[in-house]
Structure 1
């Protein structure tokens, strides 16, 4: 990863992801690293409750 960029951990795949230019206005609201993980968010909440 390029240094100097903020990173977050995706709660679905548990991998780190970096700030992207497309997220410059909404970085605080970004939770998931991709659309795929955003669609799979319900499976994570079920897994956490078990």
Structure 2
């Protein structure tokens, strides 16, 4: 087995991923790899919710 993977953090199981609640639809969503560097800034579960943020009707 190669030593190149020894310094990587242990993978998290799907149930252990951080979650947030979408500000538009109110549904919970989980961390995604593409949000690795911007997770603190993520507020919406999808592009659709981000576009419709002004239509938030209090779900």
The structural deviation recorded for 1:43 is 1.0
Aligned to 1:3, the other structure's residue is in SS state: helix
Which residue, out of 29, 37, 42, partners 1:25? 37
Aligned to 1:8, the other structure's residue is in SS state: strand
Gaps of 5+ in 1: none
In the superposition, the TM-score normalised over structure 1's length comes to 0.82
Larger Rg belongs to: 2
- Work out the number of aligned pairs and report it: 45
1:32 and 1:7 map into 2 onto residues whose CA distance is: 11
In the superposition, the TM-score normalised over structure 2's length comes to 0.70
Spell out, residue by residue over 1:4-34, the C-alpha distance to the aligned partner (whole angstroms, 9 max, x if none): 1000000111100000000000000000000
Gaps of 5+ in 2: 1-13
* Higher helix fraction (1 or 2): 1
RMSD (CA atoms): 1.1
